[in-house]
Amino acid sequence: MGDHGGVEGAATARGGDRRRRLDPDQRRVQLLGAGVAALADVPLHDLTIDEVARRAEVSRGLVFHYFGSRAGMHHALVVAARDGMLRATEPTADLPAAARLRDTLERTVAFVRGHRGTFYSLVRGVSSGDSEVRAAIDEARAVQAARVLAVAVELGGRDTALLRMAVRAWIGLAEEALVEAARDRTVDDVALAGFLTRSALAVAEAAEPDEAEAQTSIAPPRSAR
């Protein structure tokens, strides 16, 4: 998950590149790059327009011009970081289901290791009072849940309301494990990816009813007998 689609690259451009005249799209990418890079050491809720302007070596007014407000800037940064994370962890379509899940989660772990602050802002940004920021983060969770659900169904699971609920619950577990692992490097990447893979598959399996539950679910109501 190490790609922000050119956003972070803009943040590391040479000073001369920052000061030259850019077209609006290039300038927006540059400002987003500076903001996403800042998330490495400044939590989203503490990130100010002044700080992004300082890092981008532009005026405060220029940042306001592109984002309108601090809340608008936060939303744009979350969307940029979210999209970069999802691109970097896009499943490899030609892999078998279980291997595809493992590959995706290995790249997820790598992304978190390399972009701890960005990931923390994504998963903790849901506590933001901004509904647009929360919606952007929820969209990322929905994509990640759909990826796990697709694997579970491909491996023979039934696409039920219970399975979908179980997968959404697993997303919360995975986020917490990734945040903790980013703080504590004693858990190596291979072990963490293995845990996440096994736990996802176990949760999906647990969502399948056992024989007694299956019989109960298909038995007619007593009044219909």
Domain locations along the chain:
7-78, 82-208
pTM for the full model?
A: 0.80
Q: Taking residues 143-170, what's their average pLDDT? A: 97
In the prediction, which pLDDT does 200 show?
98
- The whole-angstrom distance between residue 82's C-alpha and the CA centroid of its chain comes to 5
In the prediction, which pLDDT does 221 show?
54
- Does residue 91 register a pLDDT over 70? yes
Residue type, 97: A
Lowest mean pLDDT segment, chosen from 8-12, 91-95, 162-166: 8-12
In the prediction, which pLDDT does 15 show?
45
Band (pLDDT 50/70/90 cuts) for residue 125 is low
**Backbone torsion region of residue 70, taken as left when φ is above 0, otherwise alpha when ψ lies between -120 and 50, otherwise beta:** alpha
Q: For 13-27, how does the pLDDT look when each residue is reduced to its tens digit (9 = 90+)?
A: 434 445 567 888 999
Residues 152/95, Cβ–Cβ less than 8 Å: no
Q: Taking residues 201-214, what's their average pLDDT? A: 83
As a dihedral over the C-alpha atoms of residue 86, residue 91, residue 92, residue 94, rounded to 10 degrees, the angle is -150
Question: Which tokens belong to 185?
Answer: 């490097």
Query: Domain spanning 82-208: which CATH class is it, in words?
Result: mainly alpha
In the prediction, which pLDDT does 21 show?
78
Residue type, 15: G
Residues 116/182, Cβ–Cβ less than 8 Å: yes
| Alpha helical stretches, state H, 47-90 | 49-56, 60-67, 70-88
- Does residue 53 register a pLDDT over 80? yes
Q: What is the mean pLDDT of the chain?
A: 85
Highest mean pLDDT among 1-5, 94-98, 123-127: 94-98
Query: Domain spanning 7-78: which CATH class is it, in words?
Result: mainly alpha
Q: Phi then psi for 61, rounded to 5 degrees?
A: -65, -30
Residues 201/101, Cβ–Cβ less than 8 Å: yes
Placement of tokens 């007014």 in the chain: 61
Q: Taking residues 106-110, what's their average pLDDT? A: 96
Residues 45/117, Cβ–Cβ less than 8 Å: no
Q: Taking residues 97-107, what's their average pLDDT? A: 97
Please tell me if the domain spanning 7-78 has the same topology as the one spanning 82-208: yes
In the prediction, which pLDDT does 222 show?
54
List the one residue out of 166, 159, 160 whose CA is nearest residue 201: 166
Q: Taking residues 21-50, what's their average pLDDT? A: 90
Residue type, 146: A
Lowest mean pLDDT segment, chosen from 42-46, 56-60, 154-158, 175-179: 42-46
* Rounded percentage of the chain residues whose pLDDT exceeds 90: 62
DSSP 53: H
Residues 36/7, Cβ–Cβ less than 8 Å: yes
